Amino acid sequence: MSSTATTLITNASLKRGALTLSAPAMLDFALQLLLPVALVRLLPPAAFADYRLAWLAIGAAMAVAPFALPRSLFFLLPRAEPALRAAYVHQSVLLLLLSGLAAGLLLGPWNPILPPSLRAISGAAWFMPAFLTLWVAASLAEFLPNARDDTQGQALVIVALAVLRVAMVAMAAIWGRADIVFGALLAYAAIKLGVVMHHAWRHYGAPASALLSGRYPGALHRQLAYVLPFGLASALFLLPVALVRLLPPAAFADYRLAWLAIGAAMAVAPFALPRSLFYLLPRAEPALRAAYVHQSVLLLLLSGLAA
């Protein structure tokens, strides 16, 4: 490891970081519970159904499109020198933009494989490609500060973005139209991606200098080699769950989608602490990983029972 690489976190830092990240994650989940309750009152049934169907389709895309690229930064950045870190971060942004564009095109109304209910979503032709292109890359906002051991900064980003999203979507829903809500979501995704680009530029320099310098020609290969098994495993685990969530809206009445949204948020809420631990473990000292892996697995089992 280079002498300039980030110091691996210690036992005390690991515990403190897990608690610091869990609190804003729980707040985010609480806001996700409140949002569908507000939207089902503000939107007509057809508009709310379009919103929920679109969001469920986006959830299915997010099970595959990131392909573990954001999480790879937890392992790669602490073990790299500054110039190589910049290459990892900026190539992640570029790859996620391309992946999001591909996912958005696949979910467009021109895809004959999609069920009619998804193809009939108001504004899907422009919303899905534009939103997913931004949204997949914007997911780095939930990883970049933490990857450089700034857990407090990460917590602030999570809280600020969660509150902003609820405020923007709720204000747009007052108009009672799904396309205006989609416009607010697109603006929010652009703001979130702007946070990512600002962080990447501030801490890792300009993208062109990092990607075109040619100093680390093997950076892309090394990152993809690390990502491939985790991305495949994540997709195989998460995609069936996301697809199953898409099935009930085809059979249930529109108002029941609110209960599905609340249930989906409640199902993931107990996993906040173990997920925070898993995000921190790649940066932990080697001696700590084995001990905390066992504790994290136990927490996941208990969280699953609670959910």
What are the pLDDT digits (tens) for 268-287? 555 554 555 555 555 555 55
DSSP state of 212: S
Geometric angle at alpha carbon 197, from 193 and 201, rounded to 5°: 175
pLDDT at residue 48, rounded to an integer: 87
- The mean pLDDT of the chain is 78
pLDDT at 169: 96
Residue 241 has pLDDT above 80, yes or no: no
pLDDT band, very low/low/confident/very high, at 1 (cuts 50, 70, 90): very low
Rounded to 10 degrees, the C-alpha dihedral 275/280/285/287 comes to 0
Whether 126 shows a pLDDT value over 70: the answer reads yes
The mean pLDDT value for 166-182 works out to 95
Question: What number is the average pLDDT over the span 44-58?
Answer: 88
Which comes out higher in pLDDT, residue 237 or 271?
A: 237
Asked if residue 7 has pLDDT above 80, the reply is: no
Q: What is the pLDDT of residue 136?
A: 98
Residues ≥6 apart with Cβ < 8 Å to 16: 151
Among candidate residues 57, 177, 187, 191, the one with its CA nearest the CA of residue 123: 177
Q: What share of the chain in percent tops pLDDT 90? A: 33
Whether the pLDDT of residue 74 is over 70: the answer is yes
Please say if the pLDDT value at position 201 is more than 90. yes
Q: Quick one: average pLDDT of 234-248?
A: 70
Q: Answer yes or no: is pLDDT of 171 > 90.
A: yes
- Give residue 122's pLDDT band: very low, low, confident or very high (50, 70, 90): confident
pLDDT higher than 70, residue 183: yes
More confident residue, 298 or 89: 89
Residue 295's pLDDT is: 53
CA distances from 231 to 63, 133, 203, 211, 220 (A): 9, 18, 26, 23, 15
Predicted confidence (pLDDT) at residue 131 exceeds the cutoff of 70? yes
Query: Which has the closest alpha carbon to 11: 281, 279, 253, 207?
Result: 281
pTM, 2 dp: 0.79
- What is the structure's pLDDT at 253? 45
* Selected residue with higher pLDDT from 247 and 79: 79
Structure tokens at 95: 């790859």
Q: Is the model's pLDDT at 305 over the cut of 90?
A: no
- Band the pLDDT of 46: cuts 50, 70, 90: confident
